[in-house]
Amino acid sequence: MTPDEFVDAVRDDNDTALSRLGSSKSLYAATGGDLEPEEVLHAAADAEHAAAETFAQWAAGEGTDTPAGETFADAAEEEREHYETVLSKLDEEHDPSEDLSAIQSYLRDLDDTVERAGGFVGRIVATEKSKEQYTGFFTGQADPMTASTFRELKGDLEGQLEAARDLLETVCEDEDDWERAKEAADGAIQAAYEEYTEQLESMGVNPKPVC
């Protein structure tokens, strides 16, 4: 398997989950139904902060002198920059939530380099969808500057995905490695989707129709 084939397979095999994570209900779920701009920004800040912490933990575990360690350290730094960018849009202080999202909890349980590389892809692919929703939300709020900010953050994910492809090519030595990486990528996306479903159902909202 090539890295490009890997990413295509992750997208194809999780098409339904990704479509629903990219629906207009995703922000409703993430904010507990409170779609005020400040609450949406707080949700975005929590996501960026948690990702930065996860990748920093991975980098420390891998060692910064390894390809994986360098990749994850770069991702952690970029996610910290994303966090600061979102904070700059808030009119009030933000204390990162102590409650981890399902996808971040899943990722932090991965302690194998190959699985982390796969999980990295899964997180990127899932996050692309949420960035689209943040962009769309602020466009609808007649706030083109904030919408543009989230569009730029989504653009950064292209660089992360390219780095993930390079890492997969480095650490996956045989078919078994590719399969383990794929399972981790799928697991990350499905963790996010299951949480999305549970959040909406707890609010009496049907999560299945794509809006």
Query: Residue 122: pLDDT band by 50, 70, 90 thresholds?
Result: very high
Mean pLDDT of 48-66: 95
Q: Note whether residue 140 is domain-resident.
A: yes
Q: Note whether residue 151 is domain-resident.
A: yes
Query: Residue 146: pLDDT band by 50, 70, 90 thresholds?
Result: very high
Q: Is it the case that residue 14 has pLDDT exceeding 50?
A: yes
Q: Note whether residue 155 is domain-resident.
A: yes
**What are the residues whose beta carbons fall under 8 Å from the beta carbon of 169, sequence distance 6 or more?**
2, 3
H or E element that contains 32: none
Q: Note whether residue 208 is domain-resident.
A: no
Q: Is it the case that residue 166 has pLDDT exceeding 90?
A: yes
Mean pLDDT of 192-211: 83
Sign of CA dihedral 53, 166, 123, 103: negative
The pTM score is 0.93
Q: Tens digit of pLDDT for each residue in 77-96? A: 999 999 999 999 988 788 88
What's residue 207's pLDDT?
77
What's residue 112's pLDDT?
95
- Amino acid identity, residue 41? L
The pair of structure tokens assigned to 44 is 């975005």
What's residue 97's pLDDT?
82
| Nearest CA-CA partner of 10 in 188, 157, 170, 198 | 188
Mean pLDDT of 40-44: 94
Q: What percent of the chain has pLDDT over 70?
A: 99
What's residue 135's pLDDT?
94
Q: Note whether residue 209 is domain-resident.
A: no
Q: Is it the case that residue 151 has pLDDT exceeding 80?
A: yes
**Which residue range(s) make up the domain with 177?**
3-31+44-202
What's residue 209's pLDDT?
60
Query: Residue 211: pLDDT band by 50, 70, 90 thresholds?
Result: very low
Mean pLDDT of 190-201: 93
Domain count along the chain: 1
What's residue 98's pLDDT?
85
Q: Is it the case that residue 66 has pLDDT exceeding 90?
A: yes
Q: Note whether residue 92 is domain-resident.
A: yes
Residue with the two structure tokens 């409170």? 34
Report the Cα 175 to chain-centroid distance in Å: 26
Tell which wins on pLDDT, 101 or 210: 101
Cβ atoms < 10 Å from Cβ of 86: 25
Q: Is it the case that residue 208 has pLDDT exceeding 80?
A: no
Q: Note whether residue 99 is domain-resident.
A: yes
Alpha-carbon distance of 49 to 148, in angstroms, equals: 20
Q: Note whether residue 184 is domain-resident.
A: yes
- CATH code (residue 53): 1.20.910
